[in-house]
Amino acid sequence: MQHDPTFWLLARSAGLAAYVLQTSSVLAGLVLKSRPSVRLRAAIVTEFHKTLAVVAVAALALHGAALVLDGTVRVTVASLLVPGLVSYRPAAVAAGVVAGWLLAAVTASFWLRKHIGARTWRRLHWATYALFVLATVHGITAGTDSTQPWARDLYLGAVAAVAFGTVWRVLVRPARRSALTKVELS
């Protein structure tokens, strides 16, 4: 009997989509915090940031479901939830499981902010950096496409973009309407 690659292809593409969406959400969060332009409305960027995170969680769920349904690597529902239970590259897959939990927690925090407080919410959002690193490690070390030039470029581009956004956030003061008005008037 020949193996049907549908679920394997779906697992790979959903995993890559989850990574791109999660990276995009991180970048949107950095844009929201650093406000490189006064034309960017905080409410719109916030909704975009949240939407990217929610769709990333959905893509991650599809990635996991497709892995369970595929026969290429034996993956159980329990091994999607508990790091270290998959025999295929266990450390690399465990990094992905932990990244998945962090993605779920940070995304859920959008709706829990009033209950957990702004300070706790902000601290939890710092976990986004660990999430990004773990997801990148997972993709590079467990992903079967990671040796392909396009995949390598995807990971390098994501790391470069997040590093640039982080440096921008640290070094550049957010644009303010009043500061812009004073500059325009002089």
- How do residues 81-118 score in pLDDT, each as one tens digit? 999 998 889 999 999 999 999 999 999 999 999 999 99
Q: What integer pLDDT is reported at residue 182 of this predicted model?
A: 47
- How do residues 34-58 score in pLDDT, each as one tens digit? 766 667 788 888 899 999 999 999 9
Q: What integer pLDDT is reported at residue 184 of this predicted model?
A: 46
Residue 175 has pLDDT above 70, yes or no: no
> Can you give the pTM of this predicted structure?
0.88
Residues 6+ apart with CB under 8 A from 113: 121
Distance CA 96, CA 102 (A): 10
Q: What integer pLDDT is reported at residue 71 of this predicted model?
A: 81
C-alpha distances in Å from residue 88, one per residue of 72, 81, 84, 164: 10, 15, 9, 33
Q: What integer pLDDT is reported at residue 180 of this predicted model?
A: 46
- What average pLDDT does this structure show over 168-185? 63
**Segments making up each domain of the chain, as ranges:** 6-185
Q: Output the six-digit token pair for 95.
A: 């990094």
The SS3 call for residue 148 is coil
